[in-house]
Amino acid sequence: MTSGAVLRAASAGAGRRLVPTAVIFLVLAAGAAAALLGLTLATNSNELFLTAFTQSHGAQLAVTADSAKATGAQLAATRHLPGVTQAAGPYPQTFIKLTSGHTTGPRPAGRPASGQPIPHGQVNPVLETPDMWLAVVGRPSPSGPLDDISLQQGRWATRPGEIDIDPHAVPFAAPIGSMVTVASAPGKPKLKVVGYASSIGRDEAAWVAPSQVAALRPAGAPAQQQMLYTFDQAATDSQASADLARIEAALPTGAIRSWVSWVSSNRLIAAAQGMNTPFVVAFAVIALVLAVLITASVVAAAVIASYRRIGVLKSIGFTPAQVTATYLIQIGLPALAGVIAGTALGDWRVLPLINGGNSLFNINVSVPLWINVAVPLGMLALTGVAAAVPALRAGRLRAVQAITAGQAPPAGRGYGAHRLLGRLALPRPVTAGLAAPLTRPARSAVTLAAITFGLTAVVLATGLGTSLARLSQGGDLWHHAVMISAGRPGTQQAFTPSQQQTVATALAHQPGTSGYAAVASTPFPGQATSSSWAASVPGVGQRVPITAFRGAAARLGWDITGGHWYSGPGQVVINTAYPGTAGLTVGRAIRITVGGVAVTATITGTVYDPGVGLLLTSWATLHGAAGLAVNQYIVGLKPGVEPPAYTAELGKALGHGYDVENVTPGQSGSVGLYGDIDTSLIQLLTVLVAVLAGLGVLNATLMLTRERVHDLGVYKAVGMTPRQTIAMVTCWAVTPAMVAAVIALPAGIALHDAVIHALASDQSVLPQIFGTLPGSVLHVYTAGGLTLLALAGLAIAIAGALGPATWAAASRTTTALRTE
Summarize as ranges the residues that interact with another protein (CB under 8 A).
408, 411, 413-415, 418-419, 422, 427-429, 435, 439, 710-711, 713-724, 809, 812-814, 817, 820
Q: How far is the CB of 393 from another protein (least distance, A)?
A: 25
List Cβ neighbours of 411 (8 Å cut-off, separation of 6 or more). Answer: none
Q: What is the torsional sign of CA 411, 413, 416, 418?
A: negative
Residues 6+ apart with CB under 8 A from 695: 23, 26, 27, 30, 294, 298, 800
Distance of CA 13 to the CA centre of its chain: 46
Cβ-based nearer residue to another protein, 57 or 710? 710
Query: Which DSSP category does 145 fall into?
Result: S
Measured from the CB atom, is 192 or 428 closer to another protein? Answer: 428
Min dist CB 813 to another protein, Å, is: 5
Residues in the chain: 820
Closer by beta carbon to another protein, 479 or else 716: 716
On whether the CB atoms of residues 495 and 630 are closer than 8 A, the answer is: yes
Q: Toward another protein, which CB reaches closer, 261 or 705? A: 705
CB of 441 to another protein, least distance (A): 13
Question: Closest separation between CB of residue 445 and another protein, Å?
Answer: 19
Q: What per-residue string of b and e applies to 107-145 under the rule 16 or more CB within 10 Å gives b?
A: ebebbbbbbbbbbbbbbbbbbbbbbbbbbbbbbeebebe
Q: How far is the CB of 718 from another protein (least distance, A)?
A: 5
Please report how many Cα atoms fall inside a 13 Å half-sphere around the Cα of residue 359, on the Cβ side: 14
Do 484 and 633 form a contact (C-beta atoms < 8 A)?
Answer: yes
Q: Tell me the closest approach of the beta carbon of residue 422 to another protein, in angstroms.
A: 6
Encoded amino acid at 309, one letter: R
- Return the number of the residue (222 or 409) whose C-beta is nearest another protein: 409
> What angle (nearest 5°) sits at the alpha carbon of residue 281, between those of residues 280 and 287?
85
CB of 800 to another protein, least distance (A): 23
781 neighbors 463 (Cβ within 8 angstroms): yes
Q: What are phi and psi of 262, to 5 degrees?
A: -70, -20
- Which residues, 6 or more positions from 799, have their beta carbon under 8 angstroms from its beta carbon? 694, 697
DSSP string, 559-603: -EEEE----STTEEEEETTSTT-TT--TT-EEEEEETTEEEEEEE
| Pairwise CA distance, residues 804 & 705, whole Å | 7
| Closest to 22 (Cα-Cα) out of 695, 693, 707 | 695
Looking at the Cβ atoms of 516 and 715, the one nearer to another protein is 715
Nearest one of 518, 579, 570 to 544, comparing CA atoms: 579
CA torsion, points 31, 35, 37, 41, in degrees to nearest 10?
160
Please identify, using beta-carbon distances, which residue of 711 and 762 lies nearer to another protein: 711
Minimum separation from the CB atom of position 722 to another protein (A): 5
Q: Which is nearer to another protein, 155 or 812 (CB)?
A: 812
Closest CB to another protein among residues 437, 696: 437
CB of 429 to another protein, least distance (A): 8
Smallest gap, in angstroms, from Cβ of residue 729 to another protein?
Answer: 15
Q: Which is nearer to another protein, 79 or 428 (CB)?
A: 428
d(CA 171, CA 169): 6
Q: How far apart are CA 786 and CA 783, in angstroms?
A: 5
Closest approach, Cβ 808 to another protein, in A, equals: 12
**Residue with Cβ nearer another protein (614 or 720):** 720
Residue 697: CB minimum distance to another protein, A: 21
CA angle, corner 68, sides to 62 and 69, nearest 5? Answer: 70
Q: Nearer Cβ to another protein, position 411 or 528?
A: 411
Pairwise CA distance, residues 216 & 185, whole Å: 5
In whole angstroms, the minimum distance from the beta carbon of 700 to another protein comes to 18
Give the contacts of 507 (CB within 8 A, at least 6 positions apart): 513, 516, 633, 635, 650
Sort strands 134-138 and 206-208 into parallel, antiparallel or unpaired.
parallel
Comparison of 169 and 709: residue with beta carbon closer to another protein: 709
**Burial class, 337, CB count within 10 angstroms (exposed 0-12 / middle 13-18 / buried 19+):** middle
CA–CA–CA angle 629, 631, 637 (5° rounding)? 120
> Rounded to an integer, what distance in angstroms lies between the CA atom of residue 327 and that of residue 11?
10
The distance of closest approach from Cβ of residue 713 to another protein in the complex, given in angstroms and rounded to an integer, is 8
C-beta closer to another protein: residue 68 or 714: 714
- How far is residue 191's CA from residue 170's CA, in Å, rounded to a whole number? 14
Identity of the residue, 465 or 722, whose beta carbon is nearer to another protein in the bound complex:
722
**225, β-bridge pairs:** 65, 92
Nearer to another protein, 717 or 750 (CB): 717
Rounded to the nearest whole angstrom, what is the least distance from the CB of residue 721 to another protein in the complex?
Answer: 4
Residue 283 CB, nearest distance to another protein (Å)?
40
